[in-house]
A = this chain, B = another copy of it.
Amino acid sequence: MDIQTSFLDRLFESGLLIDTGIDGLYGRSGQFEDVISAFERLIYGFGGADGAEAIRFPPGMNRALFEASGYMKSFPQLAGTVHSFCGSEFDHTSLLKCMEVGEDWTKDQEATDIVLTPAACYPLYPTVAKRGPLPESGALFDLQSYCFRHEPSKDPARQQLFRMREYVCMGTKGHVTDFRQSWMDRGLEMMKAVGLDVVIDVANDPFFGRAGKMLANNQRDQNLKFELLIPITSSANPTACMSFNYHQDAFGAKWGLNFADGSVAHTACVAFGLERIALALFHHHGLNTAEWPQSVRKALWG
Contacts and interface: CB of A to CB of B under 8 A. Distances in A.
A18 B143 CA distance: 13
A53 to B, nearest CB: 7
Given A21-B64, A114-B22, A152-B113, A55 B79 contact: no
A260 interface: no
A77 B84 contact: yes
Contact of A21 (B21, B28, B62): B62
Contact of A79 (B53, B85, B211): B85
A293 interface: no
A53 B76 contact: no
Interface string A254-267: 00000000000000
Nearest to A73: B96
Interface stretch (A103-111, A172-180, A227-235, A282-290): A103-111
Nearest to A68: B99
Nearest to A211: B89
Interface in A95-128: 95-96, 99, 104-107, 109, 111-114, 116, 123, 127
Interface string A44-79: 000000000111111111101101000011001111
Interface string A147-164: 010101000000111100
Contacts of A99: 67, 72
Nearest to A86: B77
A65 B21 contact: yes
A114 B160 contact: yes
Contact of A123 (B27, B54, B123, B209): B27
Tell me whether chain A's interface is mostly helix, strand or loop, or mixed: mixed
A211 to B, nearest CB: 8
B114 A80 contact: yes
A53 B15 CA distance: 11
A111 B114 contact: no
Nearest to A65: B21
Nearest to A28: B56
Interface string A165-202: 00000000000000000000000000000000000000
A82 B21 contact: no
By Cβ-Cβ distance, the 6 closest A-B pairs, closest first, are A30-B54, A106-B111, A58-B161, A84-B150, A76-B85, A80-B82
26 contacts: A18-B127, A25-B114, A26-B58, A27-B56, A27-B57, A28-B55, A30-B55, A33-B54, A33-B56, A59-B59, A59-B146, A60-B148, A76-B95, A77-B85, A80-B84, A80-B114, A81-B106, A82-B82, A82-B116, A82-B148, A82-B150, A89-B208, A92-B208, A109-B111, A112-B150, A113-B152
